[in-house]
Amino acid sequence: MAAERGTAAEALVGQVVLPGDLLLLPAHYDEDAEGERLRLSAGTAPQGRLLCGPGLRRSGAGLLVTKCGLLRHRPGGGGAYWVDSQQKRYVPVKGDHVIGIVTAKAGDVFRLDVGGSEPASLSYLAFEGATKRNRPNVQVGDLIYGQFVVANKDMEPEMVCIDSSGKSSGMGIIGQDGFLFKVSLGLIRKLLAPKCEIIQELSQLYPFELVLGMNGRIWVKAKTVQQTLIIVNILEACEYMTAEQRKQALAKLSGN
Amino acid sequence: GVLERSREQLLRQTCEAVLLGVLHPRTAVSLVLQVLSDAGSLLSCCLNAACMALLDAGLPLAALFCGVTCALQPDGAILLDPTARQEQEARAILTFAIASSDRRVLMATTKGSCSVEEMQQCLAAAQRAASTIFQFYRDSVRRRYSKC
């Protein structure tokens, strides 16, 4: 599968691509560049702009792959291409929901460690129902579940625990006890997919509370410490187990 | 020592040429290589390991690179990927770092003396051998993503 001078992007969807591969896009995407080209087949070309997602960069007539992984494509609304890659290190992205650990309180802002290259800042007013008199009770070492409002490579990331309408919708300080651990980003995306089998099978085993952060952090709390640790071990091992191995492991545990 | 420092410099130049540093300003990327056993061709082994580590970490790269070592024997024959014994007997050892886009040369270093034509011949042989290494990268990545 050598892509010396570019291969058509559609041919490689679902295949492994490596950095340096050049993907060529179908001709009708060059409309903006050459306005004189006539559309002979009106109505069959997709409208809208093509979205170039993570792992890809525009280069000349095509897309240059910058990360290794599987190439994915979404046809709706102009189309989007991206590379599905496995990674352990998190890079903050605007809109992502993450779990942060409070490392310092500096005046009106908290500094949180989110696993990126810089600590994120969180204002004390960014909680539901917080005013200057009514401050939230946040201590150093607490876990916070929030989302990024500012996250780009040039500025320090900023988080909030309310959404655009002022409601907390599940965000805020995560309660006492429980267990926090780190997994790879690919596993988190798999767990967050709709109708994830792993979560459904685990919920048959014991009742538990689960918070998934897009920065690779998972917080679990079950009734007893032993149950919590069992769930932690299963989630960590899920990355390398196939579906049958997982079902066998769960069957052995529920049998005991 | 000085030898390790010069190897570090060569590795750094090669990595900086392919890494897209504009996407990560004010950030340091730290690459640590531990030599477990050295059976010859150490520098090109370090280059290959560095490329796979950068791939695995998910850092944005403009192209892949690989390292190929050529040994020029006293009778003029070119030997690729020499063992430690062959390196000692050779007249000159040339190491090249070759990028995956257009097989261009990112780094070249020579120990010993050789003529310009011999260097060109070694370079051509190394560029051909680079294709095998890139195919190995592709197969390894494919195996890793086949388990998802």
Looking at the structure, give the CATH architecture of the domain made up of residues A1-25+48-84.
Answer: Beta Barrel (2.40)
The pLDDT value recorded for residue A222 is 93
- Is the per-residue pLDDT at A33 higher than 80? no
**Residues B43-49: what's their mean pLDDT?**
95
DSSP β-ladder status, A143-150 and A158-160: antiparallel
Determine, for residues B141 and A19 on separate chains, whether the beta-carbon distance falls below 8 Å: no
Q: In chain B, how long is the greatest CA-to-CA distance?
A: 51
What are the residue ranges spanned by the domains of chain A?
A: 1-25+48-84, 94-171, 177-252
- Is the per-residue pLDDT at A44 higher than 70? no
- Whether residue A250 lies within 8 A of chain B, CB to CB, comes out as no
Q: Average pLDDT, whole number, for chain B?
A: 92
What are the residue ranges spanned by the domains of chain B?
A: 2-146
Looking at the structure, give the CATH architecture of the domain made up of residues A177-252.
Answer: 2-Layer Sandwich (3.30)
Measuring CA to CA, which residue among B75, B69, B71, B76 is closest to residue B87? B71
A39 — pLDDT class (breaks 50, 70, 90):
very low
Determine, for residues B20 and A85 on separate chains, whether the beta-carbon distance falls below 8 Å: no
- Whether residue A243 lies within 8 A of chain B, CB to CB, comes out as no
Task: Using a pLDDT cut of 90, give the percent of chain B over it.
Answer: 87
Pick the CATH number of B2-146 from 3.50.50.60, 3.30.1300.30, 3.30.230.70, 3.20.20.190: 3.30.230.70
Query: Which of A42-51, A78-87, A121-130 shows the lowest per-residue confidence on average (mean pLDDT)?
Result: A42-51
- Is the per-residue pLDDT at B50 higher than 90? yes
Residues of B in contact with A19 (CB under 8 A): 18, 55, 60-64, 100
Query: Which of A26-30, A123-127, A162-166, B108-112 shows the lowest per-residue confidence on average (mean pLDDT)?
Result: A26-30
- Is the per-residue pLDDT at A114 higher than 90? yes
As to burial, measured by CB atoms within 10 angstroms (0-12 exposed, 13-18 middle, 19+ buried), residue B69 is buried
Determine, for residues B20 and A154 on separate chains, whether the beta-carbon distance falls below 8 Å: no
Model-wide pTM > 0.90: no
- Name the residue facing A69 among B18, B61, B145 (closest C-beta): B145
Instruction: Tell me the per-residue pLDDT of A223-255, one tens digit each, with 9 for 90 and over.
Output: 999 999 999 999 999 888 888 888 888 888 887
The pLDDT value recorded for residue A41 is 47
A47 — pLDDT class (breaks 50, 70, 90):
low
- Is the per-residue pLDDT at B3 higher than 70? yes
- Name the residue facing A18 among B26, B131, B137 (closest C-beta): B137
Instruction: Tell me the per-residue pLDDT of B61-113, one tens digit each, with 9 for 90 and over.
Output: 999 999 999 999 999 899 999 999 999 999 999 999 999 988 999 999 999 99
Q: Is the Cβ–Cβ distance between B118 and B86 less than 8 Å?
A: no
Task: Using a pLDDT cut of 70, give the percent of chain A over it.
Answer: 89
The pLDDT value recorded for residue A1 is 39
- Is the per-residue pLDDT at A42 higher than 60? no
Q: Is the Cβ–Cβ distance between B79 and B90 less than 8 Å?
A: yes
Looking at the structure, give the CATH architecture of the domain made up of residues A94-171.
Answer: Beta Barrel (2.40)
- Whether residue A184 lies within 8 A of chain B, CB to CB, comes out as no
Which residue on chain A is closest to B58 by alpha carbon?
Answer: A87
- Is the per-residue pLDDT at A2 higher than 70? no
Residues of A in contact with B63 (CB under 8 A): 19-20
Determine, for residues B60 and A240 on separate chains, whether the beta-carbon distance falls below 8 Å: no
Highest mean pLDDT among A1-15, A185-199, B3-17: B3-17
Determine, for residues A19 and B147 on separate chains, whether the beta-carbon distance falls below 8 Å: no
Instruction: Tell me the per-residue pLDDT of B52-62, one tens digit each, with 9 for 90 and over.
Output: 999 999 999 99
Q: Is the Cβ–Cβ distance between A146 and A138 less than 8 Å?
A: no
Determine, for residues B58 and A186 on separate chains, whether the beta-carbon distance falls below 8 Å: no
Determine, for residues B64 and A18 on separate chains, whether the beta-carbon distance falls below 8 Å: yes
* Inter-CA distances, B141 with B52, B53, B76, Å: 9, 12, 37
- Whether residue A192 lies within 8 A of chain B, CB to CB, comes out as no
Q: Which helix (H) or strand (E) holds B143?
A: helix B116-145
